[in-house]
A and B are shown apart, each in its own frame.
Chain A
């Protein structure tokens, strides 16, 4: 195994991800300006020493808004992935341990879930249940459930045929106990990689929902909402449309690279670069 510090994807990915997580955490205690502070005199200011990324049509500091936006984006994505993994992984493990018609039924259900364009249904759920960060987390989380169920089932099926599982079975352990003690720990690498992928997708979905006004609600800043606001001023202040998008793209890029790196490091058999 190559050491972690020799894997470029992992290094770049973990660096970007760390920067974004730290930014989100720092925004809890400090931002250059209060992110919701309106200052009409200095509206639509170009980037300067006072306002590094300029100000928006209300004179709010774009840099501060992006810092606070990282917090809302990461928290929505985190909860969405926790919901998906928290229900999907046990569901997939259960289906594979029990087998038979239960397994088929769970798999048909995931097939059915994949038939619904995820973002469209998330739009429907958040719009009808009420826009906001909480419903966005749930709506995105629901579509993570079948993904985690599928991946878990597929990975456990392979591991369950291995000798050490046979040995555990021979000692008289029950299927569920074997699943928890022997099988799941062995597929943690696969699951961890999946978590980074879903995290990245959740950030895009959250930004999409916020863009159409269904995610985190104003005045609390969100990257998607900032893009929507920026579009109105696209002729006057084109830069406003650039920074929030860069933030989303770097967060997603960082997580994707981290996922690729983890895959290479943890499970060379799954490596995409041969």
Chain B
């Protein structure tokens, strides 16, 4: 058990490190000189060279990578080229929008998908099942940014109950800020919920066919009890796997959704940083988001241990 944890932790660190290498390399290969872009197009070559020196861009790639990684390890994300403030400050402001948005979306999607998926499995082959799966099939095909626009049409234009975009800030109070996140979170959550409800349905159908469910029914347990006490808990492994995988989609989705709703989150920051060739901010943000995905997948692996006592990983290679 301990050996498994150590092995997984080493793997986690190696993957995180490789992620920094990939991001750094990609940004080296792609065209665009940050110094030239910050200055006017009429800037003289020696002015650009001076700025490059000031920004440390004239150092070799090895030195720059080393300096960046050494900073990351110490929690120093560097200083933004364009804003001239520490990147950690920029990120800290945006995290207060993106993380609540992501958490709200995961909660909404799980809260919708699991009951609906279980209901479809319990009513397998009947009208309810067909209706739920039909809606889910449609939901899977919905691009979240279009859903966002439709929600704006419905709840901000036709029946103005939520703002069409923007964010008031948490200092204005919990509810006013949350109100700004409801529509974006729904746009992210509903397509995910469609996928998750299909996974839940088939996982529950799988466990409903198992011997222990038959035994539970044979000993006189009601169908509902057998479903919730025996079939559903055992169906959770694939469901949790998909929730973990969806986290990555969700992070990418926020990039577009924050644009749809003009939310000042990390996605918007990535965009601004890319447009201004603020490469240090891009580098930090992409590594941070990839790191979040890697850590979540690690936690999902650990969750298996809690969910299924048969998985001990003692014998695993």
Query: Which residue numbers of A lie inside 8 Å of B, CB to CB?
Result: 111-112, 114-121, 123-125, 127-130, 200, 204, 207-208, 211-212, 227, 230-231, 234-235, 238, 241-242, 244-245, 248-250, 252-253, 256-257, 272, 274
Contacts and interface: CB of A to CB of B under 8 A. Distances in A.
Contact of B251 (A120, A130, A204, A231): A120
B290 A119 contact: no
Contacts of B149: 227, 230-231, 234, 241, 245
B30 interface: yes
Given A128-B27, A128-B32, A235-B157, A117 B252 contact: yes
Nearest to A128: B30
Nearest to B22: A112
5 contacts: A117-B248, A121-B286, A130-B31, A234-B157, A241-B150
A267 B49 CA distance: 62
Contacts, number: 131
A112 B18 contact: yes
A124 B141 contact: no
Nearest to B251: A117
Contacts of A235: 157
Nearest to A111: B15
Contacts of B290: 115-117
A123 B19 contact: no
Contact of A119 (B138, B202, B252, B286): B252
B274 A127 contact: yes
Interface stretch (B53-61, B82-90, B230-238, B254-262): B254-262
6 closest Cβ pairs, A-B complex: A117-B252, A245-B146, A119-B252, A253-B141, A252-B141, A128-B30
B162 interface: no
A13 B305 CA distance: 40
B140 interface: yes
Given A111-B15, A115-B293, A124-B274, 19 more contacts: A117-B293, A119-B255, A120-B270, A120-B286, A125-B26, A128-B30, A128-B31, A207-B145, A207-B146, A212-B255, A212-B256, A212-B271, A227-B145, A242-B153, A248-B143, A249-B142, A252-B143, A253-B137, A253-B141
B172 to A, nearest CB: 25
Contacts of A111: 15
A121 B293 CA distance: 13
Interface residues of B, number: 48
B228 interface: no
Contact of B270 (A112, A124, A211): A124
Contact of A212 (B18, B198, B259): B259
Contacts of B255: 117, 119-120, 123, 212
Interface in B176-206: 198, 202, 205
A128 B153 contact: no
B12 to A, nearest CB: 10
B143 A245 contact: yes
A116 B23 CA distance: 10
Contact of A123 (B145, B153, B270): B270
B294 to A, nearest CB: 5
A253 B274 contact: no
A173 B149 CA distance: 57
A118 B22 CA distance: 14
Contacts of A241: 146, 149-150, 153
Nearest to A143: B252
A211 B30 contact: no
B106 interface: no
A85 B220 CA distance: 52
Contact of A116 (B205, B270, B286): B286
A144 to B, nearest CB: 15
Contact of A114 (B248, B251, B260): B248
Contact of A256 (B18, B140, B150, B252): B140
B153 A234 contact: yes
A118 B140 contact: no
Contacts of A234: 149, 152-153, 157, 164
Nearest to A203: B143
Nearest to B277: A128
